[in-house]
Amino acid sequence: MSASEPPAELPPDAQLAQLRERLAKLESNSGGLTRLLRYLPVLAIGNLLLAAPAMLISAAVAYFAFEQAEATKKMQIGSVWPNVAYDFSNIGDAGEREISMLVTNRGVGPARIAAMQVSYGGKAYPDIRSLMKACCVDGNGNIGVIVQNVNGEVIAPGDEIDFVQLTPALSGERTYERFGKLRADLRVRICYCSVFEDCWIEDSRASAARPVAQCPADWTQFGTPLEPTPDRS
């Protein structure tokens, strides 16, 4: 048979045998792959079980880091926490007759006074003289009083400011006596802030200071009005 002649065609039996041989080889080669595919879910679960402890440890470390940061923040805030209180006194330091309206910082950090409102009979007054005209002075009588502005002042821990001082010699006996009986009718509200700009309102008719996002902008300021504190909410 010359090179140009096509190869002789195998008989059908031989072709079938050849095809079976090729199929057997394919099945033999694919057996390992089939077994591998069968065990893939098991391998995936095993890897997940090995990774789970590491994931739990990472989550725990992140949680404890967050808790530590929060605790540190609270410690910092607590270390500079102010506690402003309003007081009314009828006796001076030497036991003399003297009416004083005071703001005291009983906390452990400085307090910035951001706003103050003084009301009598449900009406707020901008200063002590207008208040005394409404409550205690007859006509154009004498209004002798010592005042000190509080708005904007920073009060150190343990310090106090006498923002109103009144004596019989200054105001006259009648006015002094009338003002001395005014204590229960006055309402004094003070908004103050810490160095971190956390703010509270001290109310002479409340048992404790109330935290606020910012100091009220609608108060009738007693003394020098200030700009409202930024809203931190």
DSSP 8-state symbol, 148: -
Residue 230 confidence (pLDDT):
47
What string of pLDDT tens digits covers the 233 residues of the chain? 555 555 556 676 676 677 667 766 655 655 555 665 566 676 667 666 666 666 767 766 666 555 555 555 555 555 789 999 999 998 888 889 999 999 999 999 999 999 999 999 999 999 998 999 999 988 776 788 889 989 899 999 999 999 999 999 988 899 999 999 988 899 999 999 999 999 999 999 999 999 999 999 999 999 865 554 445 44
The pTM of the full predicted model, rounded to 2 decimals, is 0.66
User: From the CA atom positions of the chain, what is the Rg in Å?
Assistant: 43
Amino acid at 144: G
Segments in the chain forming alpha helices (H):
12-79, 128-135, 168-171, 173-180
Residue 67 falls in which region: left (phi positive, over 0), alpha (psi -120 to 50) or beta: alpha
How far apart (Å, rounded) are the C-alpha atoms in residues 131 and 188? 12
Please count the CA atoms within 13 angstroms of the CA of 112 that sit on its side-chain side: 15
- Collapsing DSSP to helix, strand or coil, 147 comes out as strand
How deeply is 114 buried, as exposed, middle or buried, from its count of CB atoms within 10 A (0-12, 13-18, 19+)?
Answer: buried
Length of the chain equals 233
Can you tell me the distance from the alpha carbon of 65 to that of 53, in angstroms, rounded to the nearest whole number?
18
Taking the C-alpha atoms of residue 208 and residue 218, their distance in angstroms, rounded to an integer, is 22
Give exposure, 97-112, as e/b (b: 16+ Cβ within 10 Å): ebbbbbbbbebebbbb
Question: What is the per-residue pLDDT for 6?
Answer: 54
3-state secondary structure 156-204: CCCCEEEEEEECHHHHCHHHHHHHHCCHHHEEEEEEEECCCCCEEEEEC
Tell me if 176 sits within 8 A of 192, measured CB to CB.
Answer: no
Residue 19 CA to residue 128 CA, distance in Å, equals 114
**CA 34 to CA 108: how far, in whole Å?**
74
